[in-house]
Chains A and B, each alone.
Chain A
Amino acid sequence: MTDEALQSDDALSTPATHASLVDEKIVLAYFVAALTFISISMLGGFLMAAQLLRHNPLNGIEIFSPGRWRMLHTNAIAYGFLANGFLGLLHWVIPRLTLRPVLDRRLSWLIFAAWQVVVLATAVGILLGQAQGLEWGETPTWIDPLAQLGLLLVAINFMTPIIRVKGPMYVTLWYFLAAFVWTFLTYAMGNFVPEYFVSGTAAGAVGGLFIHDLVGLFVTPLGWGLMYYFVPILLKKPIWSHGLSLVGFWGLAFFYPLNGIHHFLYTPIPMFLQYGAIISTIAVELVVTTVVINFFGTIWGRGREVLTNLPIRYFYTGMVFYFLTCLQCAMQTTLTFQALIHFTDWVVGHAHLVMFGVFSMWIFGMMTYLIPLILKRDWYSNKLCEYHYWLSAAGLAVMAADLILGGLFQGWSWSSLQPWDRSIDVSFPFWMIRIWAGLSMFGGLVVFLYNFYMTWRSEPEPAMDVAVVPA
């Protein structure tokens, strides 16, 4: 370990170089893993979409059971794509922001390997029909302890450099710090409590809290933390308002976890708890507005960057989608809307809007920015990067609009007590559009993979090197 000097507290006496801080190989390895899993996930989504259209190409084969692949679809996105993507990005951001390397590089690689085992085992377990009956926690029960251990190591490895920072920290680090604690606790709560300690309605409440916290306390804080880091760097100007970022952080920290029960409104869960969840959901929408305003204040006057700077365009597209999702959230959490749209494709549209429209777009943006820096060469084709953006963004916009609208028709068809088949007939055109939108998103990914591969194969340009810019 040549990094020992850096690990002591007077680390800054020796100027930190990028190479001593960032293990670029592991960033790249995480990106490759993430892209592999999003490909698998999209194939799963495609299989289910084709099943609904009654054109399942792999009909009647046990390990291609569409129900199993649907679970693989969501789990591969959460744990395979988002988690891997974020872990890779954290290996870049945290050392550069704290000017201290992670606790131990060997530990980093151990975590990398362990996490891939967790995700692969989850996939295999689900395909063998051993899922656990908890949405987004389908990871078979025998893998849960390993995943829990992995999350603990992640927290230790990354929190060490953060804790050593003296004085006030940048907002990104608040989000990260909180996210490490939350993710660990959320995973433990969701995977053990409703399985071993409580059953029935109370387990439903915990399950709702789990799915919600997983989005709100693992994905969201890491995503926003990364935005607070990359947006100012790419725009070369500081974030608009420090005060607003405080409001955003503390508002999220307080209100977000209180939303859990809104996933199970009109269930036998006590009504006063349902009202509590509804009100805090609406509060989250207000908080989110402050965050979005802050970022639009940052880009104010530099709007042209959205046209010329592709990563920035990814980021701000994601933010627009984020605002729309949260607006939708504030509406759909009301009991009036719930009566109509619960159990319909409206919710599925909502989920895609968040997971793909926001967080996947952000990760794509950050990959588009970092891959040339890591490989020390330009993209093989900037035009293909543009294609990736447009196929993803347009596909997602069509898919979300289509499913949200379709959900309304399904809801009306059910409440008007028509025979069940009618609701399938009504959904059919929407499902048809959905599969084409999905293919567009998948096409974007294929373009990106091809571009990535061709870039990797091309010759590096020795002139390109990365400097450390303390934030």
Chain B
Amino acid sequence: MFESKSGILLVAGLAFFGFAFLSNAAVPYLMYRNIPEQTAEELVNGNVRFQFEDLSRRYPESFVKAYGDPPADPEAGADWWNQNVADSLREGRDIYVGEGCWHCHSQFVRPVSNEDKRWGPVSASWEYQNELQRPVLFGTRRIGPDLSREGGRRSNDWHAVHLFKPEMTSTKSPMPEYPWLFDGAPDKPNRRGLALITYVQWLGSWLESYPDYENYQPAPFEKPAEDSESEDE
């Protein structure tokens, strides 16, 4: 059995593989099947919509070039805005994946290593049940900080300048420059740039704690920070 062809094919090849798939993949899937998966349209909320409208005011020319003029009628306008935010989230996510941002930035706050003090609430399962997390963007390496609570922490201008040339906002930053997301200048983001900024501003916008500012104290801190404020769920 242990050295015969059929034994190896059946037991090692299929049974063990299947067992691992069952325990490591099917079980978590079954445990979360009650949390509905949201579409990009369902993910649009007031916070990200605000940021998107803010982009249209800061970069009116670029914005109109990318998305066209918003309808004058406020009724139709709401749908137009929401649909464009949803599209931008999808597009922004694709750029985030395609540029490998997720190989330098994680998207989950762990319950250890003081991460909740640096970035805000520890990540929970329901936050990931949406189409933009197909496949999930937990990340495996942090050269730059975690981004899962990045939305609202910085202004749209800051992100535009930072993406154009990170060293302009963060001295000595090893993050690459992304001039191709712009039409030649940091105040002229193109459609891809606008979409990526929208996506980054969306991260964490579903939380009560949005926007989450860094509230850590410079080390070494005198007495341990009290847990009362950082334990808000």
Contact B114 A415 (CB under 8 A): yes
Distance of A418 Cα from B99 Cα, bound (Å):
28
B: number of interface residues (CB 8 Å): 81
Does B154 interact with chain A (Cβ within 8 Å)? no
Question: In the assembled complex, how far is the CB of residue A417 from the closest CB belonging to chain B, in whole angstroms?
Answer: 4
Residue ID in chain A nearest B27 by CB atoms: A273
B216 to chain A, nearest CB (A): 4
Among candidates A66, A169, A417, A421, residue contacting B221 with C-beta atoms closer than 8 Å: A417
Q: How far is the CB of B21 from chain A (nearest CB, A)?
A: 7
Scoring A residues 402 to 419 as 1 if CB is less than 8 Å from chain B, else 0, what string do you get?
000000000100111111
User: Which stretch in B42-50, B59-67, B135-143, B198-206 binds the other chain?
Assistant: B135-143
* Interface hit among A29-37, A83-91, A205-213: A205-213
> In A396-448, which residues have CB < 8 Å from any B CB?
411, 414-421, 424-425
CA distance A71 to B103 in the complex (A): 8
Q: Would you call B157 an interface residue if the criterion is a C-beta within 8 Å of the partner chain's C-beta atoms?
A: no
B24 touches A260 (CB 8 A): yes
Contact of B5 among A177, A206, A277, A419 (CB under 8 A): A177
Q: How far is the CB of A419 from chain B (nearest CB, A)?
A: 7
- A70 interface residue (CB < 8 Å to B): yes
Contact between B140 and A339, CB atoms less than 8 A apart: no
Residue of A201, A209, A411 touching B21 (CB-CB under 8 A):
A209
Beyond A201-B136, A250-B2, A267-B138, whether A273 also contacts B103 by CB under 8 A is no
CB distance from B192 to the nearest CB of A (A): 9
Asked whether, in the complex, the Cβ of A135 is within 8 Å of the Cβ of B140, the reply is yes
| Interface residues as binary, A192-208 with B (CB distance below 8 Å gives 1, 0 otherwise) | 01111011111111111
Total contacts A to B, CB within 8 angstroms? Answer: 246
B25 in contact with A202 (CB, 8 Å): yes
Contact bitstring A255-270, B, C-beta under 8 A = 1, else 0? 0011011011011111
CA distance A85 to B6 in the complex (A): 27
Q: In the bound complex, how far is the Cα of B178 from the Cα of A270, in angstroms?
A: 38
With contacts A67-B176, A194-B136, A342-B110 known, is A268 near B128, CB below 8 A? yes
A420 to B113, CA, bound (A): 14
Known contacts being A169-B3, A199-B130, A208-B24, is A181 close to B32, with CB within 8 Å?
no
Kindly state whether residue A109 has any CB partner on chain B within 8 Å: no
Complex partner residue of A54 from B5, B98, B117, B172, CB under 8 angstroms: B172
Contact B13 A203 (CB under 8 A): no
Q: Does A185 contact B (CB under 8 A)?
A: yes
Q: Does A178 belong to the interface (CB within 8 Å)?
A: yes
A327-357 contact mask (Cβ, 8 Å, vs B): 1 or 0: 0000000000011101111011000000000
User: Does B88 make an interface contact (CB < 8 A)?
Assistant: no
The contact size tier of chain A is 35 or more
A59 at the interface (CB under 8 A from B): yes
At the interface, yes or no: B37 with Cβ under 8 Å from chain A?
yes
Q: Cβ of A52 and Cβ of B135 under 8 Å apart?
A: no
- Asked if B217 CB lies within 8 Å of chain A CBs, one says yes
- Which has the most chain B C-beta neighbours within 10 Å: A53, A174, A213? A174
Closest chain A CB from B120 CB (angstroms): 13
Considering the chains assembled together, what is the distance between the CA atoms of A21 and B12 in angstroms?
28
Given contacts A205-B24, A273-B28, A418-B218, contact A163 B135 (CB under 8 A): no
8 A Cβ contacts from B138-179 to A: 138-145, 167, 170-174, 176-179
B118 pairs with A417, CB closer than 8 A: yes
Pair B21/A416 contact, Cβ less than 8 Å: no
- Known pairs A194-B134, A200-B125; A340 contacts B113 (CB<8 A): yes
Residues from chain B with a CB closer than 8 A to the CB of A201 are 28, 32, 125, 128-129, 136
Question: Cβ of B76 < 8 Å from any Cβ of A?
Answer: no
Q: Are B29 and A198 interface neighbours, CB within 8 A?
A: yes
Interface pair B100/A70, CB less than 8 Å apart: yes
Asked if B112 is at the interface (CB within 8 A of a chain A CB), the reply is yes
Which residues of chain A are within 8 angstroms of B139 by Cβ–Cβ distance?
343
Q: Is B185 an interface residue (CB 8 A)?
A: no
Q: Given A270-B27, A421-B170, are A200 and B12 also a contact pair (CB < 8 Å)?
A: no
Give Cα A70 to B133, complex, Å.
21
B23 at the interface (CB under 8 A from A): yes
12 contacts between A and B (CB under 8 A): A59-B176, A70-B100, A169-B3, A181-B14, A198-B134, A200-B35, A204-B128, A209-B20, A273-B28, A340-B113, A343-B140, A420-B144
The residues of A with any CB-CB pair to B shorter than 8 Å are: 51-54, 56, 59-60, 62, 65-68, 70-71, 129-135, 137, 162-163, 165, 168-169, 174, 177-178, 181-182, 185-186, 189, 193-196, 198-209, 213, 217, 246, 249-250, 253-254, 257-258, 260-261, 263-264, 266-270, 273, 276-277, 338-340, 342-345, 347-348, 411, 414-421, 424-425
